[in-house]
Amino acid sequence: MKILVVEDDLSLAGQIMTAVEQAGWVAESALDGLEAVYQVTEQSFDAVILDLGLPRLDGLSVLRAMRDQGIHLPVIILSARDTLHDRIEGLNAGADDYLCKPFQMAELIARLRAQIRRGSGQTSPVITIGELALDTCTSAVYWQGQPLKLTALELKILSYMMHNSGRIISRSELIEHIYRQDFDRDSNTIEVFIRRIRQKVGHNMIETVRGLGYKLVQPA
């Protein structure tokens, strides 16, 4: 899962990015509104954390620009403007949630989890596919009821696939959602990770769709 953090306060942006990475996701940052609009059109994200008071283009305009372009990513507004009018305006502009500053990092992360789940059509905090289960609150994965040991990257891949089960995911899509943009990415490594995950969860959970990618399926 990749999260765009749009915040011009460098220290707060850094704290949010650290919390996002600790939650097992990848964080990219945009320090002003125009950069944010550019990033959401150039890269694939799973959610956006959006400050309202931003240089070059304010947060509400960023949000409207995104929605006008048909980008339906979950967006959580973070703002010191906490009047009822501000909240209503933010939600009307297409935000999915609104958190007032100052806020607790744990609450932001919990709300992000809920938005990411909803964004992928999941309602329960535990995603279950066959004998595989992901507790999205703790990032623990269970296979046949037993906790599964996964490396950080294996977890990122499996979590993304579980949030998007039943559809074909290309290697480049996986790469976009598990690595930062500036990371030196090698699509061949995805095959290696998929092989390792298959060794842990049984080979028939992940189908290879030749030439297209992989699909996490509920075995018959």
Chain residues that interact with Ca ion, rule: CB under 5 A: 8, 51, 53
Q: Which is nearer to Ca ion, 55 or 166 (CB)?
A: 55
- CB 74 → Ca ion: shortest distance, Å? 20
Nearest residue to 101 (alpha-carbon basis) of 16, 22, 31: 16
In the complex with Ca ion, the residue whose CB is nearer, 12 or 175, is 12
- In whole angstroms, how close is the CB of 33 to Ca ion at the nearest point? 10
The one-letter amino acid code at 139 reads S
- The strand pairing partners of 140, in sequence order, are 135
Q: For Ca ion, which residue has the nearest CB?
A: 53
Positive/negative CA dihedral, 75, 76, 78, 84: positive
Kindly state the smallest distance separating residue 62's Cβ from Ca ion, in Å. Answer: 12
Minimum Å gap between C-beta 119 and Ca ion is: 24
Positive or negative CA dihedral for 56, 60, 61, 67?
positive
Instruction: Between 11 and 199, name the residue whose CB sits nearer to Ca ion.
Output: 11
**Closer residue to Ca ion, CB minimum distance, 51 or 97:** 51
Closest CA to 110 of 79, 138, 86: 138
Phi, psi of 54 (to 5 degrees): -130, 150
